[in-house]
Amino acid sequence: MPLNLTAENILLVGSILLFLSILAGKTSYRFGVPTLVFFLLVGMLAGSEGIGGIQFDDPKKAQFVGIIAFNFILFSGGMETDWKAIKPILWQGITLSTLGVLMTAIGLGAFVYYVTDFTLYESLLLGSIVSSTDAAAVFSILRSRSLALKHNLRPTLELESGSNDPMANVLTIVFTTLVLNEEEGIASIVPFLLKQLLIGGAFGLLAGHLSKFVINRIRLDFEGLSPVLVMALMFFTYSATDALGGNGFLAVYLCAVYLGNQELLHKKGIIKAFDGYAWLSQIILFLTLGLLVFPSQIVPVIGIGLVISLFLMFVVRPLTVFFSLSLFSMKNRSRWFVSWVGLRGAVPIVFATYPLVAGLERANMIFNIVFFVSLSSVMIQGTTLSFVAKILGVGLPESLKPRTDVDLELADSVKSELVEIVLEEGAAVGRSIVQLGFPRTALISMIQRDGQYITPNGTTVLEKGDRMFILAEDNEALAAALKALDFKLESEQA
């Protein structure tokens, strides 16, 4: 029997769905499936054609949920983006998030126009909707312990996924308008695009400066209110930018990147809070999109959806990446990996609600194709990222993967790297720590030996098989510490 959501049962149903999603997500990586896919499937099972029977067919509400969720996801990702890490690859990321998105939209749009009976503008609209990589999927997968990458690959991919939604958003709005009003012409893209990006970028940086001033000047008596204050600033940044004619998503991301690299009161608490908000937003967003989908309408488009998805993965994305990065120094194996991390997820599905809200004739078909393309992308590419990284030789060895399960409460101003290594044969074995010439900016915080944990000091003699936890101020300090330990890194670079 269909279940209609009311004020009486919405909290009960919502809490059950959240609980089931978290349980599903906890076990998902045992089977190599990204957590977000399970959130989506739980929503589909709870929907009108699933066992839950929840009636939900409102693209406007889904779009609103998507906008709120994107704010939290982009802001959280931006706050955790290290400027020092992205500075060397800034232009690579910007090129991928602008030229790369445009080329993807045009290339895939041309293919859709050739293999379907869509009009040119409808084809370009579909290409625009799936032209950006999904920040939620990329952030959640790359920041898991299962995947650690050499050199600048991770910041490149995170910068691209965090900053390419505005371009895809603008193209989606433009081509939705052109499908409705074909007489306007494609030339209308340029001024609208420039206005969105320039105002969004400028106001985002301005909002970052103002937000830093507000956060540090107000000095709230209760630390728990700090995330609430930042949330208010985040929504103000988005809405004010949108009111000025700029792209709110770009503004929110840039504002967060700026704040994440400044000294702020209660900064660690704010980052932790927004990490939780981002995860909650991702779950609610994927559940909502799952509820919005009618599986029976997906089946008829599986054939064309699979053709479009495979063409996007194996033709358009690689060509776009290789062309966009042709002016930059990067080995081909790294370019191939960047090509494979073209994950589509919730972002294209939310963008696919724009034609639904606008009432386009083929909006339902476009939505269903986009949903299938996004789901197949996360299922195929998301489940194979670790394998592809290993094949291409761009993954870090197990001994140098960053530790994400150790929570050290450090001062907000401390910038640190924490890695775990196992000491094998080398000049450091049999010597005390004081004899190694260890850098002042790094320390061995703990040694695990024969099942026991040792707190080392200068006289501690290192033995073969010692598992050491090294805390360093930055990458340079970490490299010096590893050199002092005579720890050999793989010479092959990405």
Q: pLDDT tens across 294-306, in order?
A: 888 888 999 999 9
Class level of CATH domain 399-484: alpha beta
Q: Are 394 and 332 in contact (CB under 8 A)?
A: no
Q: Of the ranges 1-15, 133-147, 156-170, which one carries the lowest mean pLDDT score? A: 1-15
Local confidence band at 153 (pLDDT 50, 70, 90 cut-offs): confident
Residue 285's pLDDT band, with cuts at 50, 70 and 90, is: confident
pLDDT tens profile 18-52: 776 666 555 554 544 566 677 777 777 777 777 76
Task: Report how far apart, in Å, the C-alpha atoms of 226 and of each of 220, 294, 430 are.
Answer: 7, 41, 49
pLDDT classification of 240: cutoffs 50, 70, 90: very high
pLDDT, residue 487, reads: 73
pLDDT band at 414 (very low <50, low <70, confident <90, very high): very low
Helix (H/G/I), strand (E/B), else coil: 444: strand
pTM of the model: 0.76
Q: Can you give the pLDDT at residue 404?
A: 47
The interaxial angle of helices 35-46 and 10-28, nearest 10 deg, is: 140
Cβ–Cβ under 8 Å, residues 57 and 75: no
Give residue 1's pLDDT band: very low, low, confident or very high (50, 70, 90): very low
For residues 214 and 264, what is the distance between their CA atoms, to the nearest angstrom?
10
The region of weakest confidence among 207-221, 354-368, 408-422 is: 408-422
The predicted pLDDT at position 491 comes to 40
Mean per-residue pLDDT for 102-126?
A: 94
Does residue 231 surpass a pLDDT of 50?
yes
The CATH code of domain 10-392 reads 1.20.1530.20
User: Which one-letter amino acid corresponds to residue 439?
Assistant: P
**Cβ atoms within 10 A of the Cβ of 337, count?**
25
Q: Which residue from 360, 373, 351 is spatially nearest to 304, judged by alpha carbons?
A: 373
pLDDT at 492: 39
pLDDT at 436: 80
Write down the domain spans for the chain. Answer: 10-392, 399-484
* Coil/strand/helix, residue 54: strand
Question: Which tokens is 469 given?
Answer: 């936890």
How far apart, in whole angstroms, are the C-alpha atoms of residue 375 and residue 344?
A: 8
